Amino acid sequence: MASDTAGKGGLEDVVATASRICLLDGDRGTLSYCGYDIHDLARHATFEETCFLLWHGRLPTRAELGDLHTQLAEARVLPDAVLRLMRQLPPADGMDALRTLTSALGHLDPVVADRTPAGLYRTAVRLTGQIASLVAAWGRQQQGAGPVAPDPAIGHAANFLYMLLGTRPDAESVRAMDVALTLHADHELNASTFAARVAAATLTDLHSAIVAGIGALKGPLHGGANAEVMKMLIGLGEDAPAERIDRQVRDLLARKVKIPGFGHRVYHTEDPRATHLRQMSKTLGQRAGNLRWFHMSERIEQLVKAEKGLHPNVDFYSATTYYTMGIGLELYTPIFAVSRISGWTAHVLEQVANNRLIRPRADYVGPASPQAFRALDTR
């Protein structure tokens, strides 16, 4: 007999677990981590504070934050064997490289077998530092440059930009990256987080659970929309007149082609994360003396709202935010992982602390059973 959830494709609105980490309300357009509103965190918190909040359920003291800074600084130094493997990989998508290299980190982690709460937490912190370094080093390699050693005196967002771009980032760029990492840190049971929790529920190691999350994030229905947004803008041309923008967007809408960066599976109003990214895109454009990309995005937003009633999601303005900072499109989804590793690991820690194997059922809609088996020569 079919269950009450029959026909709910993609488990829509099905509650799969209880969690203390993230609350989002799609009707009101609100998002909070452990009770703290995302707007307050974006305005006042650093990414390191956000990580501690997700892992512990509370904000850190000054001493605890200092300890976390030290732990992350130590973690950012990648093993030589992983850097050698990175150089040996064939040409690869950034998420493919990240998946392989994260798995390799599991082989080289001296305490990978420590499944105690303290051991899992240490691995969560270590992976958060290492993922950022992996993405930065891979980005450098794609540009034909060598890795940049991290600077223990600066924070996570500043280190990531420094290791990626090879120059000391200005305060505005550091703040923009810090906010972007905070905004992307967690989002309840999205596909990659759920994949990580399902893997963790089998009591596999933390690295394997994170690889499951990376694999899910790689899919174009989850990660990568911001790169598609920027490709669309570049395709229109930086100097595209308003008439051409309107005509092309209306043509896409008429042909029922999805405009990247709009709509959301949960939010029925504006994604609260988009509110901050819109402002960052504008601020960085003003600083660079080039607001054209922002104005193009703003015009597309107004048109899609008017024509379809759709609001921008987290991906729409993150595209021009990253692009204005000089970050290549191929890194947009890996940067998502640089942030979401905090949420993935928080959910894995929560899952393991009160674990039960995640084993849902399926509504069978195949042929009636039992079928009569016929011998091979009679088929």
User: Nearest Cα to 188, choosing from 37, 360, 32?
Assistant: 32
Question: Cα separations (Å) of 199 from 35, 147, 190, 348?
Answer: 26, 32, 14, 9
Distance CA 74, CA 76 (A): 6
Distance CA 157, CA 180 (A): 9
Question: Cα separations (Å) of 117 from 114, 121, 123?
Answer: 9, 6, 10
Tokens describing residue 161: 């930009």
Q: What is the spatial order of strands in the sheet that 30-33 belongs to?
A: 22-25, 30-33, 36-37
Distance CA 288, CA 285 (A): 5
The yes-or-no answer on residue 315 being catalytic is yes
Catalytic position from the list 178, 186, 271, 315: 315
Residue type for position 94: G
Distance CA 158, CA 226 (A): 22
Residue type for position 339: S
Distance CA 325, CA 364 (A): 50
Report helix, strand or coil for 84: helix
User: Nearest Cα to 208, choosing from 340, 306, 105?
Assistant: 105
Tokens describing residue 266: 């949960």
User: Nearest Cα to 162, choosing from 171, 153, 172, 150?
Assistant: 150
Helices 332-353 + 47-56 axis angle, to 10:
30
Distance of CA 189 to the CA centre of its chain: 12
Distance CA 312, CA 125 (A): 32
User: Nearest Cα to 31, choosing from 217, 313, 39?
Assistant: 39
**3-state helix/strand/coil string of 50-81:** HHHHHHHCCCCCHHHHHHHHHHHHHHCCCCHH
Catalytic position from the list 156, 187, 207, 264: 264
Q: At residue 226, what are phi and psi to the nearest 5 degrees?
A: -70, -30
Which residues form the catalytic set?
A: 264, 315
